[in-house]
A and B are shown apart, each in its own frame.
Chain A
């Protein structure tokens, strides 16, 4: 079989392949600016850093102050409440004809009930919603009782059960009470609030309070400081250390390189937790003191090898590369080579590792604080906040959800930023192959 010229058709003219033309790549920041995810992530990261740095000035509430009348409440605004005296109650002025709440405040719920002829004493119960008797409060021969026990603004069902001489119980009386938020005189004094016309103003709790009545927003902000402190210091230090170590190994080469990198391999295998504890003990830190410094120390001393490997690989590659050789031939000094070729090639890579190391460190801090090896109770950290939140997650989920969201959002932002950085530097992605 043979072909004739008419069997063929010329191809339409094609544009030269784009990949072949060499154009200088735009600077990294411009590539990132074009990436919506990266911008959102960067804004989140900056916002978190600002909040961690300036939080205590923006929201000057102390993370340790306990608002005992507002335990585990949801988001609430600022309000003005009455200050009530908390003197012992001697009973009502006159008899009542049914179970009555003479005062219903979070400082005290004062109950009085009519005397029943057959009863010798009365048992008082309190239930948070529901129809059962609930928690027993007291058994009293009187016909009145003042409840001071951790009251908050919610519906309580009080039951009074009369007890007869033979020990049998009669039909319970019950009443539903919605206490009004007030502050006892003593509590007001303790909190340093001076009443004006018998009233004080309580600050807002935009994120509610925790199980000990502490303001969640201020705890989150102070916790951010702990998390960010560890999350930023440790990676910055170990990546710097690793970079210098790797550069040294790569530049010296030969058997020095071999020994240095073998040592790095060994360090990777060392158990982190053990060394953290070791530093803790060696620095004379007792079990009730903050373990943040040994934590950072252990992270720095054990996590540098990955950065070292990265930099060493780059240095070795660059040493062999044609452009470094030609620069050398042209008489470039070592300093010039490091400044002009090594740093611009290595820094973006280190930036990527940093953006992945930071969330890792934040996680580690949270995890160690979670098991009690990190910060100690009065100081909040996102890990301890989650730990506290888990205990009350069934009844007050916001106490777990808010710190968990804070960790997740920060870690997510750093991860997305790292991804975007890596993509921006990856030639394949830039050409649109992926």
Chain B
């Protein structure tokens, strides 16, 4: 077991290193440097700027320095915002994205599991058909359209009520949170509902459910103790990629609802070609996601003994 854990962690660290390296060399493969335009009016100024950001050193030295700084958790200084450290940007804006993401994830998992279980329970009957229709719709409408429609809906609801029930955009209070989180989680919810439904149906047809029924357990007890718990397993494995989808997909919702999260910042940095911010946030996101996936993998081993055994043997 310990070997498996160590292996997973080492593998995660290797992945983060790969992301950091690929990002670094990708950024340096780009011809020219960020200071070739209006910012550097004279050659002297340009040299000073390059020296300030360490761009005058050979690439290999820059790479070593970059890795060293990164190990200390230092992502450098923004190119477009004077004296603003990437760390500060992340520290300031990531919590916003994280709160939004966590709430979205909670809504998505709760809704997805409940929806999938209900659909499987009333398999091929009205609740199932309605839910699956909703799922297909949620998967087929782009998130930015759903976000815009949600805003439209808030506007109409506020108009109808004659007062402000929910804010249309912005950030700061709890009431700003619900609709963006729901919109952000909707796609994932639909996906999880579908997964949960098919996994529930698989479980329903197993022999141990038949045994449980034969020994006289109530429907509710079978549902709760045997079906739900076993059906949850495949859903748990999907949580890693799901978290990835929610955190990286957040930027559209952040853009439309004017939420000052890291995703929005990333898009802005991309549009302004702010290299250090792009590199810093990319590596940060990458490291964050890899960590989550490793944790989910290890948790899965705890939940399902079969994985643990298999992993130990490998």
Chain A residues in the interface with B (C-beta under 8 A) = 265-266, 269-271, 273-275, 277-278, 281-282, 284, 287, 359, 363, 366-367, 370-373, 383, 386-387, 390, 393-394, 397, 400, 404, 407-409, 411-412, 415-416, 433-434
Contacts and interface: CB of A to CB of B under 8 A. Distances in A.
B13 interface: no
Given A274-B278, A372-B271, A407-B145, A367 B252 contact: yes
Contact of A266 (B15, B26, B278): B15
B273 A281 contact: yes
A273 B251 CA distance: 11
Contact of B205 (A282, A359, A400, A433): A433
B87 interface: no
B142 to A, nearest CB: 5
Contacts of A434: 123, 198, 201
B70 interface: no
Contacts of B299: none
Contacts of A404: 141-142, 145
Given A266-B18, A269-B19, A270-B286, 20 more contacts: A269-B286, A270-B19, A270-B22, A273-B267, A274-B23, A274-B26, A277-B273, A278-B26, A281-B31, A281-B273, A282-B30, A282-B31, A284-B31, A363-B142, A371-B251, A371-B252, A372-B271, A393-B148, A408-B142, A416-B136
19 contacts: A270-B19, A270-B286, A271-B286, A273-B267, A274-B23, A281-B273, A366-B144, A367-B143, A367-B144, A371-B251, A371-B255, A371-B267, A372-B271, A394-B152, A397-B152, A408-B145, A411-B140, A434-B198, A434-B201
A31 to B, nearest CB: 19
Interface in B257-313: 266-267, 270-271, 273, 278, 282, 285-286, 289-290
A408 B145 CA distance: 10
Nearest to B146: A404
Interface of B: 15, 18-19, 22-23, 26-27, 29-31, 123, 136-137, 139-145, 148, 152, 155, 198, 201, 205, 248, 251-252, 255-256, 266-267, 270-271, 273, 278, 282, 285-286, 289-290
A408 B30 contact: no
Contacts of A363: 142
Contact of A271 (B19, B137, B143, B201): B19
B136 A386 contact: no
A271 B27 contact: no
Nearest to A397: B152
A407 B148 contact: no
A265 B15 contact: yes
The B interface is mostly helix, strand or loop, or mixed, namely helix
A262 to B, nearest CB: 9
B30 A281 contact: yes
B88 to A, nearest CB: 21
The A interface is mostly helix, strand or loop, or mixed, namely helix
Given A359-B140, A367-B144, A269 B18 contact: yes
Contacts of A282: 29-31
A394 B30 CA distance: 42
B112 to A, nearest CB: 17
Q: Identify the 3 closest CB pairs spanning chains A and B, nearest first.
A: A412-B140, A404-B145, A266-B18
Contacts of B155: 394
B25 to A, nearest CB: 10
A4 B145 CA distance: 74
B140 A408 contact: yes
Nearest to A263: B18
A415 B26 CA distance: 34
Given A411-B140, A412-B140, A370 B22 contact: no
Contacts of B15: 265-266, 269
Contacts of B144: 366-367, 370, 386-387, 390
Nearest to A419: B136
Given A282-B30, A416-B136, A269 B289 contact: yes
Nearest to B18: A266
Contacts of A270: 19, 22, 286
A278 B30 contact: yes
B153 to A, nearest CB: 11
B245 to A, nearest CB: 11
A287 B144 CA distance: 22
Contacts of B143: 367
Nearest to B279: A274
Nearest to B31: A282
A278 B27 contact: yes
B282 to A, nearest CB: 5
B30 A386 contact: no
Contacts of B289: 269
B29 A366 contact: no
Contacts of A433: 205
Contacts of A394: 152, 155
A273 B142 contact: no
Contacts of A383: 142
B266 A273 contact: yes
Given A269-B15, A282-B31, A415 B140 contact: yes
Contacts of A415: 136, 139-140
A282 B273 CA distance: 13
Contacts of B123: 434
A275 B201 contact: no
Contact of B26 (A275, A371, A373, A411): A275
Contact of A407 (B22, B142, B252): B142
A284 B148 CA distance: 34
A249 to B, nearest CB: 18
A391 B135 CA distance: 27
